[in-house]
Amino acid sequence: MNITSKIRVRAVSSALAVVIVTGTPGGHRWGQAAYAAGQPTIVEIKAKKYEFSPNEITLKKGEPAVLRLTSEDRTHGFLVKPLNIDADIKPGQVTEIAVTPGLAGEYIVICDHYCGTGHGNMKMKLTVLP
Ligand SMILES: [Cu+2]
């Protein structure tokens, strides 16, 4: 299988580290080395018109997590501006976002990739506990 994975490392503030990994299912796991140290919580999230499932997740401040995103139909977006997360979710691919939230709070994740008539309501809640 061709390796089409990409790793984008965001400019990090001291409060937050975000790494976005995109790969094909079954492909080489680029993220493995990066995650080995932290034993992150894995959170699977599926996207489809016009919802995320689950539509609510909870993380803990300072604890590393990996959001593993897949799409069941078409390309969706996954945007949480305050946490510096901005990813595309493409069908047939797994998009992994390694995040260690630095700020507690309640955030709204929105799909920022136009996906049809219900697009404007495609949201989920991400809570970061202190
Ligand atoms: Cu959308």
Give the distance (Å) from ligand 1 centre to CA of residue 48. 9
For residue 122, report the distance from its CA to the centre of ligand 1, in Å: 6
pLDDT of residue 22: 60
- What class has domain 6-129? mainly beta
What values do phi and psi take at 82, rounded to 5?
-65, -25
Q: What is the mean pLDDT of residues 44-50?
A: 98
List the structure tokens of 16. Answer: 């937050």
* The pair of three-digit structure tokens given for residue 69, joined into one six-digit string: 């995103």
> What is the pTM (predicted TM-score) of this model?
0.74
Distance 113 CA to ligand 1 centre (A): 5
**pLDDT for residue 27:** 43
Residue 117, φ and ψ in degrees, nearest 5:
-65, -30
Inter-CA distances, 35 with 8, 50, 67, Å: 15, 31, 12
Q: Which residue would you say has higher pLDDT here, 17 or 55?
A: 55
What local confidence, expressed as pLDDT, does residue 8 receive? 39
Enumerate the domain spans of the chain. 6-129
Task: Measure CA 61 to chain center.
Answer: 16
Output the furthest CA–CA distance in the chain (Å, rounded).
42
pLDDT, residue 26, reads 45
Q: Does residue 70 carry a pLDDT above 90?
A: yes
What are the CA-CA distances from residue 97 to residues 22, 35, 69 (Å)?
A: 8, 11, 8
Q: pLDDT band for position 18 (50/70/90)?
A: low
Closest CA to 45 of 9, 95, 10: 95
